[in-house]
Amino acid sequence: MQNKLPVYILISLLLLVLLAIVSLYMGVYEFNESSLLKVLWASIANGDAISASDKYVLFDIRLPRIVMAILIGSALAVSGTCLQGMFKNPLATPSLIGITSGASLFAALTIVLGSSIRPFIPDILNYSLISIMAFIGAVLTMTFVYRMSTINGKTNIIIMLLSGVAVSALAGALTGFLTYLSKEEQLRDLTFWSLGSLGAASWLKNGILFVIIALSYILLINKGKALNAMMLGEKDAQHLGIPVEKIKKQIIILTALMVGTCVAFSGSIGFVGLIVPYILRLIFKSNYHIILPLSAILGSILLLCADTISRTLVAPSEIPIGILTAFMGAPIFIAILIRFKKSM
């Protein structure tokens, strides 16, 4: 099965490309040209040959949004897969262990109190202040949960999940208090974070996401065999020459970096890191050598589907994408619990 990994990746990539093309056609706006391919070709060959509205919708609205869905879906799925492999638990996702809540809390702090902080910060950091604070919140939350759940070098899954629930509850309460204190404009921004949306996609944000995700994948995407060894137990993995503690630190830092950046740009989008590994685990068991790279593509497919549905189902209005992923993820979460109950 491992020898077929390139085939699985190729098929998944072709499906993602096909879905991206279909998503370009979906929307309220209808292009003046009879074919979207003509719009693309005209914009490349002669930009003046197409109308300004066609060009704007294609290159400033739909394409950036599709690219952001691909990047964020991939990052969230890989983060969830790495955490589940590290903690040896199918419930360990960025949202369930508090990373998303921590990032959202620090983003909310920046939205509500940022006006009093920005005068003391260099101008070059003002634009990315929310992203930086979301990353700090994700790192602090993950570090706290990890330290709380680690006893004598071993991770206690029950304490990890309970710590995540406690941190999520505390962060949610503080975010609610900030919502109570916020002004009208700040309240709209906070609502964006709580429900999740890709409506603010831009090429600059996609560039930042691409750089962070690419750097993270260089260290994470080839950790499948190491995660397989860690599933046997940390001591057994160390005997096989796996640097367990080093890999744990890499997963914690890079997962927090990716999730923090995703939350900063799109708000809270949950369950992607739970759905994708679960589906792949049903097909490939717990072979992370296959699951990890495929999760990067399947996560993109899942979020791109959800975003396409969110902006076309009740057009011209838009359903917050976080609501759709929760509708998809909650039944799978229940299915995992039922399966675990039957195995007891």
Tokens read off for 251 = 């997963």
CA distances from 125 to 44, 129, 131, 328 (A): 34, 6, 10, 36
Q: What is the pLDDT of residue 36?
A: 62
Kindly list the domain boundaries of the chain, sorted by start residue. 16-343
Q: What phi and psi values does residue 150 have, to the nearest 5 degrees?
A: -105, 120
CA 95/CA 259 separation, integer angstroms: 9
Q: Which residues pair with 155 in a beta bridge?
A: 150
Q: What is the pLDDT of residue 246?
A: 86
Q: What is the pLDDT of residue 304?
A: 95
Residues 179-208 have pLDDT tens digits of 888 888 888 778 777 788 898 888 988 998
Output the pTM of the full model: 0.87
Q: What is the pLDDT of residue 39?
A: 64
Q: What is the pLDDT of residue 333?
A: 76
**Which residues lie below 8 Å from residue 117, measured CB to CB, with a gap of 6+?**
110, 129
Backbone angle region of 233, left / alpha / beta, with phi > 0 → left and psi within -120 to 50 → alpha: left
The CATH architecture that domain 16-343 belongs to is: Orthogonal Bundle (1.10)
CA 77/CA 34 separation, integer angstroms: 37
Q: What is the pLDDT of residue 46?
A: 58
- Listed as ranges, residues in the chain with pLDDT below 70 are 1-2, 31-51, 123-127, 153, 155, 344
Q: What is the pLDDT of residue 143?
A: 84
Q: What is the pLDDT of residue 67?
A: 96
Q: What is the pLDDT of residue 186?
A: 83
